[in-house]
């Protein structure tokens, strides 16, 4: 699940990262922001907060 936005410094893509839990369901693990330039990805930042998934309109758990 992702969002793409443009800012003064270029384009950023935001991805919600999921990790498989012991029960097989995918649980939100955090958010990754990729900063893109004309030559490729210039920076990757991960925020290790599962609660951020909701801020991007994504569920905290994806059932299998």
In this predicted model, what pLDDT tens digit does every residue of 27-48 receive, in sequence order?
Answer: 999 999 988 888 888 899 999 9
Q: How far apart are CA 61 and CA 44, in angstroms?
A: 24
Structural domain including 39 reads: 2-57
Q: Is residue 33 part of a domain?
A: yes
What total number of domains does the chain contain? 1
Q: Is residue 34 part of a domain?
A: yes
Q: Is residue 16 part of a domain?
A: yes
Q: Where residue 10 falls among pLDDT bands split at 50, 70, 90?
A: low
Average pLDDT of the residues of the chain: 84
Q: How far apart are CA 7 and CA 51, in angstroms?
A: 24
């Amino acid at each position: 699940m992702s969002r793409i936005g443009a800012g003064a410094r270029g384009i950023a893509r935001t991805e919600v990262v999921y990790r498989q839990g012991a029960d097989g369901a995918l649980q939100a693990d955090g958010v990754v922001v990729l900063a893109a330039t004309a030559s490729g990805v210039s920076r990757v930042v991960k925020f290790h907060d599962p609660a951020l998934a909701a801020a991007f309109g994504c569920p905290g758990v994806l059932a299998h």
